[in-house]
């Protein structure tokens, strides 16, 4: 047994060594291949600056990975207390164990137990990765796939065993697009993101947003690559359609002419003299109609319903990126029961919005057809004016499969309407009801 080996006085004279608290036995990346057997004390195991394990049982074997595989040290071992251990040079381990066969059996048993524990940890980690919704792929430094979770099998159309050992670039078309992304990540020493094409054998061509990061050890040597993929085919299709819609100037003009004609014939004859729309008014109508379509497409992206927090983030991103003139003071989403689902304000401190779950207004909003809009004036309290200020709000009906129609509410800034678009109270009254 190992007790016999530790108690042997001849071995103690030849191999026994002592370290003081805080001393390092060996460092991660060292080329030594000696085998150690703990006699007494506590040894900490470190990866980089982080402690990942502790060795404190007499007879514990450490340094075995470098001894067995002939590799550099995979971790740093630092003494947490006064430590004594047998330090056996690699070329003398075989002769030593042949003289202590029972100790050799016990050492093999300890190593097998440690391997079993590591196997269970790896299996548990794989089970965890298989529960992730995004496709996670791990590669070695040469770009060969070493790990492939269940979501990756769905995204790339390959079983895990089919992907093992395969060049990661072969998952994409063309392969050089992935190589360029990997090169960019290594140059930046951080994450690189791109949308790449996958020829999924079951689903056909798919657009995948790939986030790739290099993995490095404590000496900053490349030890692998990890990349996370998400199928964005649907949202990319919507973006492409939107860009085409913007570029189609002539069809857009024809569409506007048709809308104007339809609006003309829907208005009673005695109002026709008031239907002439100025260029500034038309610009405002076009921008609001475009932004309504954009918001609807953002809400429809993805395969699962969005929660209020994610909807609020979408609205906040829209206000930050698509509101250069400050026309919109905020955006709200209402359910068919006239309650607030989520919202975002362009100026939350000075112009707060009603919280999710609150009633939007006492008026009934259920009599309009999908695609129509309403223009309302409501009083909203603000920190500066508790008695309330007028808020001009444009409501669009949206179809919803689960809860019936929902309303998308754009809160407009009267001052911007007047200053930028030359739209005053008289013009606002003309758009009180109708269609864009």
Q: What is the pLDDT of residues 210-251, one digit of tens each?
A: 999 998 876 677 888 999 988 888 877 777 666 666 565 555
Poorest-confidence range of 200-204, 261-265, 320-324?
261-265
Tell me if 317 is assigned to some domain: yes
Enumerate the β-bridge partners of residue 197. 207
- pLDDT digits 0-9 by tens, 364-417: 665 554 446 788 888 888 887 777 788 888 888 876 545 555 788 999 998 888
**Residues sharing a CB contact under 8 Å with residue 337, sequence separation 6 or more, in sequence order:** none
Beta strands 328-334; 76-79: pairing state: unpaired
CA 130, 136, 138, 139 torsion-angle sign: positive
The CATH number for 289's domain is: 3.30.450.20
CB–CB of 18/82 below 8 Å?
A: yes
User: Same domain for 175 and 123?
Assistant: no
Which residue carries 């470190």 as its tokens? 46
Domain count, the chain: 3
**Residues sharing a CB contact under 8 Å with residue 334, sequence separation 6 or more, in sequence order:** 340, 341, 360, 365, 395, 406, 407, 408, 409
Boundary of a domain, candidates 127, 161, 178? 127
CB–CB of 208/231 below 8 Å?
A: yes
User: Same domain for 140 and 83?
Assistant: no
- Inform me whether the pLDDT recorded for 435 exceeds 50: no
d(C-alpha 55, C-alpha 230), whole Å: 41
What is the span of the domain harbouring residue 173?
132-231
- Winning range, highest mean pLDDT, from 142-146, 274-278, 397-401: 142-146
CB–CB of 11/23 below 8 Å?
A: no
User: Same domain for 162 and 112?
Assistant: no
User: Same domain for 53 and 145?
Assistant: no
Boundary of a domain, candidates 93, 127, 161? 127
Boundary of a domain, candidates 171, 204, 231? 231
d(C-alpha 124, C-alpha 244), whole Å: 47
Q: Can you list the alpha helix ranges (DSSP code H) found in 25-100?
A: 64-69, 90-99
Global pTM?
0.40
């Amino acid at each position: 047994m190992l007790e016999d080996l530790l108690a042997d006085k001849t071995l103690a004279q030849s191999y026994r060594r002592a370290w003081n608290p805080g001393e390092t036995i060996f460092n991660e990346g060292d080329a030594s291949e000696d085998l150690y057997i703990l006699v007494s004390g506590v040894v900490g195991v470190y990866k980089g600056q982080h402690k990942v394990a502790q060795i404190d049982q007499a007879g514990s074997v450490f340094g075995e990975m470098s001894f067995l595989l002939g590799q550099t040290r995979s971790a740093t071992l630092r003494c947490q207390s006064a430590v004594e251990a047998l330090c056996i040079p690699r070329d003398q381990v075989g002769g030593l164990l042949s003289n202590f066969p029972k100790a050799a059996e016990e050492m093999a048993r300890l190593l097998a137990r440690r391997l079993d524990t590591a196997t269970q940890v790896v299996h548990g980690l794989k089970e965890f990765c298989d529960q992730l919704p995004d496709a996670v792929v791990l590669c070695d430094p040469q770009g060969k796939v070493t790990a492939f979770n269940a979501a990756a099998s769905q995204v790339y159309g390959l079983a895990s065993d089919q992907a093992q050992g395969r060049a990661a670039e072969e998952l994409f078309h063309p392969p050089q697009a992935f190589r360029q992304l990997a090169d960019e990540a290594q140059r930046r020493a951080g994450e690189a993101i791109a949308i790449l094409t996958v020829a999924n054998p079951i689903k056909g061509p798919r657009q995948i947003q790939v986030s790739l990061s290099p993995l490095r050890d404590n000496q900053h040597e490349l030890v692998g690559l990890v990349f996370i993929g998400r199928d964005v085919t649907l949202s990319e299709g919507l973006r492409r359609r939107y860009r085409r819609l913007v570029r189609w100037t002539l069809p857009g003009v024809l569409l506007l002419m048709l809308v104007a004609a339809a609006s003309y014939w829907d208005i009673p004859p005695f109002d026709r003299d008031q239907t002439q729309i100025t260029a500034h008014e038309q610009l405002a109508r076009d921008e609001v109609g475009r932004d309504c379509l954009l918001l609807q497409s953002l809400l429809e992206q993805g395969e699962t319903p969005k929660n209020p927090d994610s909807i609020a983030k979408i609205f906040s991103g829209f206000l930050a990126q698509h509101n250069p003139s400050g026309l919109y003071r905020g955006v709200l989403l209402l359910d068919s029961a006239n309650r607030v689902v989520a919202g975002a304000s362009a100026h939350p401190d000075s112009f707060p919005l009603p919280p999710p779950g609150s009633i939007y207004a006492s008026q009934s909003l259920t009599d309009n057809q999908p695609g129509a809009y309403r223009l309302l004036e409501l009083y909203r309290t603000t920190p500066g004016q508790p008695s309330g200020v007028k808020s001009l709000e444009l409501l669009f009906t949206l179809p919803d499969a689960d809860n019936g129609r929902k309303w998308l509410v754009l809160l407009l800034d009267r001052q911007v309407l007047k200053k930028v678009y030359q739209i005053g109270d008289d013009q606002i009254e003309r758009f009180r009801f109708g269609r864009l």
